[in-house]
Structure formats: structure tokens, C-alpha cells
Amino acid sequence: MTKPTRPVTFSPEALAAIVNAVQQALDAKKSGKTVTGVTPLNAKSERSIKNEIAVVRAFKKAGFGDVKPHIDVKTFNRWMADGMRPIEGSKSLKVKNLRLFHVKQVRALTAEEKQDAQAKSDAAIAEYDQSQPAAPERQRGESKAKEDQNKADNVVPIQ
């Protein structure tokens, strides 16, 4: 028993364009050049790639050696989310609009610090919830009566 084949959903021209784009990207990768108009194979935008290059350059210039963006270099809040905290007195590097810390500048959070951070977070959430105005409660009969009155006002008699 053979499986039924699905019909082709693109034209030979579209397939040729895809093959051409992949070939250009592979040729550019071999030669070290960039190709415009071709989507990177890792699906990162050109802006994201430029930001990562700027991060690597800034941290290498500062003497941190090997740098992997999103792994070795993160913002304060990203390190805190990972259970790490910048060492007291360490300075962040400003790259574009971000203030970043290297893995060499952070330490693990203690159990007390984790509990304190969680307590502060819970307190902030509770304060926010209390500051929000409560939605006015309507009685079902009142809103229904107003709706009926509005319908009656909009009725035009047929002549």
C-alpha cells in the first residue's frame, strides 16, 4: 500500500529562488562576507546581530576575553532571574541602551537573598493590586433597565 502524495504547493521559480538564496548564504559564510536580502539561517535580525557584535567588542576591549552574548553577558535583572547577582562594587558596561554585566562580575545568591527578593516581589505585587481601582459593581437589574431604555429611545415607529 503506497502513501498518497501531496501536491506541490510552490512553483519551480520559487524553489529556484530558495536554492539560490541558500547558495548565496553558504558562499558568503565561506568568504566571510555578508549578503543583503537573505534571511540569516539562525533567524536573527540584522539589528540583533549588530547589537551582539557591539557587546562582544565592548567586553573584549574591557579585557573580559571570550564573550558569548545572552550566556556570559546579561543585564542585572537577567542575572537575578538566573539566581546570580553582580558583585558589590562591580561596574556595568553600557552597550547601546543596555547596562550589562559579565559572568566574571557575578556571584550566586544566598538563600536569604533569594527569600528577601521574593518577599520584595510579593510586596510590590500586593501594593500594585491595592493601588488599582476596583471595578464598579453593577446590579444586574439596573444595567438591564438602562439597556432597555436606550433601545426604546432608538425605536422609530413604522408608518
The dihedral over CA atoms of 105, 73, 97, 110, expressed in degrees to the nearest 10, equals -50
Query: If 0-12 CB within 10 Å is exposed, 13-18 middle and 19+ buried, where does residue 80 land?
Result: middle
pLDDT in the model for residue 142: 58
Cβ proximity of 76 and 106 under 8 Å: no
Q: How confident is the model at residue 18 (pLDDT cuts 50, 70, 90)?
A: confident
The tens digit of pLDDT for each residue in 41-76 reads: 566 788 888 888 999 999 999 998 888 989 999 999
Phi, psi of 138 (to 5 degrees): -110, 145
pLDDT above 60: residue 141: no
Measured distance CA(56)–CA(121) in Å, rounded: 32
Greater confidence, 101 or 29? Answer: 101
Q: What phi and psi, each to the nearest 5 degrees, are found at residue 28?
A: -65, -40
Q: Specify the pTM.
A: 0.53
Report the percentage of the chain scoring pLDDT > 70: 70
Q: What is the mean pLDDT of residues 135-141?
A: 55
Predicted local distance difference test score (pLDDT) of residue 79: 92
Element (H, E) at 103: none
Please give the pLDDT value at position 139: 52
Separation in Å, CA 28 to CA 32, 36, 38, 47: 6, 10, 10, 18
